Homo-oligomer: A and B are copies of this chain.
Amino acid sequence: MGTAQRRPPLSRERVLAAAVALADRDGLDALTMRRLAQDLEVEAMSLYHHVANKEALLDGVVEVVVEEIVAATDVAGGPATGDDWRAGLRARILSAREVLLRHPWAPRVLETRTTLSPAVIGYYDGVLGILRAGGFSYDLAHHALHVLGSRTLGFVQELFEPDDPAGADADVTAMLEQLGGRFPHIVGMMAEVAHATEGTLGWCDDQFEFEFALDLILDGLEARRVGDRPRSDAPGNLDDRTT
């Protein structure tokens, strides 16, 4: 007795919260059963009485993050009546993005889930509700979810995000100058764009790019909602599976 026993009992909630905190602090690779147990002042095998295995732990972690998103978006996005669908959805997605910026590891684990949790289903149901209230047919709303993809949850897969922005910047610049002739367009773009956005760290203002893409997509959806004919060549469904 004495100092002992001050440890609160384990629970699924405590395990998941500790897992999220550990990933926030030390990164996703640090989220191992042993280190998680250590944080909880417990042995690794004790965790298995609250989560079935590591996959289930990750499922739970996703659920926690998604619930955080839902809580944030409930504040931001009201019922969104009329053709306010665009503003409502935009606000919701930007709120989701804010949450994910606090958990930069979350997209990577989101993407590895094969089953969708009730929290995610509920979130998507809410998005569908916004679209329906805005006048979307179910068919178009369904396409809209595909178009938005992971952006719905507030992230895009940033391909090739450098580990260390400062160093990588210099390296890439040097490399490109060396390989100048081989990649004329990239070199040209960097010369022009990097100059213009001087002051932004690295190359791209991620927030601006996220909103630029989001607005472009919302514009496209609005055009299809009101029945504009798209300018492009016909979509051309290559393999016609519906016989």
Asked if A220 and B222 make an inter-chain contact with CB atoms under 8 angstroms apart, the answer reads no
Distance between A230 CB and nearest chain B CB, rounded to angstroms: 5
Q: How far is the CA of A159 from the CA of B109 in the complex (A)?
A: 11
Q: Do residues A114 and B207 form an inter-chain contact, with CB atoms below 8 A? A: no
State in angstroms the CA–CA spacing of A213 and B140 once bound together: 11
Interface size on A, residues (CB 8 A): 86
Copies in the complex: 2
A241, B186: Cβ atoms under 8 Å?
A: no
Contacts A128-B185, A138-B193, A200-B241 given; does A235 touch B212 at CB 8 Å: yes
CB neighbors of B among A138-193 (8 A): 138-139, 141-143, 146-147, 149-150, 153, 156-163, 179, 182-186, 188-189, 192-193
Which residue of A125, A153, A221, A224 has the most chain B CB atoms within 10 A of its CB atom? A125
B157 and A111: CB pair below 8 A?
A: yes
Decide if B186 touches A128 in the complex (CB within 8 Å).
yes
Task: Give the complex CA separation of A53 and B233 in angstroms.
Answer: 46
Contacts of A147 in B (CB 8 A): 209, 212-213, 216-217
User: Smallest Cβ distance from A53 to chain B, in angstroms?
Assistant: 15
Asked if A146 and B232 make an inter-chain contact with CB atoms under 8 angstroms apart, the answer reads no
In the bound complex, do residue A193 and residue B139 qualify as a contact, i.e. CB atoms below 8 Å apart? yes
Q: Which residues of A does B touch, CB under 8 Å?
A: 86-87, 90, 94, 108, 110-116, 118, 120-122, 124-126, 128-129, 132, 138-139, 141-143, 146-147, 149-150, 153, 156-163, 179, 182-186, 188-189, 192-193, 196-201, 204-205, 207-209, 211-213, 215-224, 230-233, 235-239, 241-243
